[in-house]
Amino acid sequence: MKVGDERMPRFHTGLHTSDWHSYPDTPYKAKGWIVSFEDQATEFPRGGEYSGDRFYPYKEVIISARDQVIAQRAANTIYNVRNLLQGSNLFGMFSSGPQSVSPVILLETLGTPHEPAETPAFNSSPNIPLACLIAARVSRKLRFVYALARLAISMEIMSVPTIELDPTHSPNIPKSVFPEAHIRMTTAITSAYSCIEELGLEIRASQKNPSRINGAWNPVVKNELEQRLRQAGVNLAEEFYWNLRGKRTRIEIRRQPEITKRAPWAAYEVRDGQIHITDAIAYASFLRSQIAAHSHEDKRFLRVLSVYEVSNTQFLARRLLLESLGFWRKLDAHRAIDLRNGTKRKRQILSNK
């Protein structure tokens, strides 16, 4: 069976969307599978949402694939992209992860979908259609598949809901005194940085050609990194916000992040600021190589690690992955659709790189 063959088996995912009307119409074709949004096949369907003066009922994400293994892999990818968009494993905190897909059974006599005895539980959140679009693009290149998997594992090991990182909403998160938390942080940092490596956007240096000379960038190494970033579609002019909270730590004394401008919300012990994307990659590399991977050398560095070093590395990997996929600057494009140019804008979402 080929992708697009109407005879391909179809599978329930349990994922439901009520904001499908803001996105391009399905099907979304991926490598080896297809996504469609279909009416709920239940006797008592869930509700939906009102947008303007219209009501849009929930539709379920249905995956068409050659077999259940491929469908499950597709569902896992969509789930991981949903966490990627969220910026944390928030949804995973309320479940054990992606649910097992189940076949859509067709009643031969009626030719209508029938819900099998056991289907995945109802699951819904905003932007599921966007997660499906991005997942379809991820499926086309193995480096994207594995980059997403590495970041997903990092967020499973440790991540913080983004609202908890907002200093206007939540107080600074204190450093942990528990060794288990320290190990979680180092492992999460290592896995997040490996996402950057999967994308081919890591620093490439050697003993003969070091990344820094007398404390400054080696121009040869920096130029080569910038060339790879441009080829990946990364905007070098767009800086990255680096979270710095509390007093300077032993890690910062060893190496200070190269902040170019204080964040508008910075005050007192909130020292967040902008950093060039190449410097952000360099500092994430330092955290991985000198702190996380070599933590056995000096436990004093472990004791001052915080969730902010973890989130900085994860959000850097998140931006580079989404930007490489062509979705970073158009995450909210669907919200700008109006009735006059909706079709044009919807096509724009699909035509990203």
Please, are residues 267 and 273 in contact by the beta-carbon 8 Å criterion? no
For the chain, 353 residues long, give each residue's pLDDT as a single digit of tens: 566 556 789 999 999 999 999 999 999 999 999 999 999 877 778 889 988 889 999 999 999 999 999 999 999 999 999 999 999 987 765 555 667 888 887 544 445 555 555 778 888 888 999 999 999 999 999 999 999 999 999 999 999 999 999 998 899 999 999 999 999 999 999 999 999 999 999 999 998 999 999 889 999 999 999 999 999 999 999 999 999 999 999 999 999 999 999 999 999 999 999 999 999 999 999 999 999 887 556 788 988 999 999 999 999 999 999 999 999 986 665 443 332 233 333 434 444 44
| Residue carrying structure tokens 């391009």 | 24
pLDDT at 221: 96
DSSP per-residue codes, 93-143: GGSSSSPPPEEPEEETTTTEEE--SS-PPPEE-TTHHHHHHHHHHHTT-HH
Token duo for residue 210? 């070091």
Distances (CA, A) of 283 to 33, 61, 125: 38, 39, 34
**Helix (H) or strand (E) segment spanning residue 319:** helix 307-325
Q: Residues of 280-316 as b/e, b for ≥16 C-beta within 10 angstroms? A: bbbbbbbbbebbbeebeeeeebbebbbbbbbbbbbbb
Please, are residues 29 and 139 in contact by the beta-carbon 8 Å criterion? no
pLDDT at 106: 58
pLDDT at 116: 57
Q: Considering all CA atoms of the chain, what is the largest pairwise distance in Å, rounded to the nearest integer?
A: 78
pLDDT at 246: 93
pLDDT at 61: 95
Integer Cα distance of 340 and 338 in angstroms: 6
pLDDT at 32: 95
Amino acid at 235: N
Amino acid at 50: Y
pLDDT at 5: 57
Distances (CA, A) of 17 to 123, 125, 127, 131, 300: 9, 7, 8, 11, 47
Integer Cα distance of 310 and 190 in angstroms: 9
pLDDT at 348: 43
* Residue 136: HSE in the Cβ half-sphere, 13 Å Cα cutoff: 23
DSSP-derived 3-state class of residue 2: coil
Amino acid at 229: L
DSSP-derived 3-state class of residue 33: strand
| Residue carrying structure tokens 């509390």 | 246
Pairing state of beta strands 212-213 and 48-51? unpaired
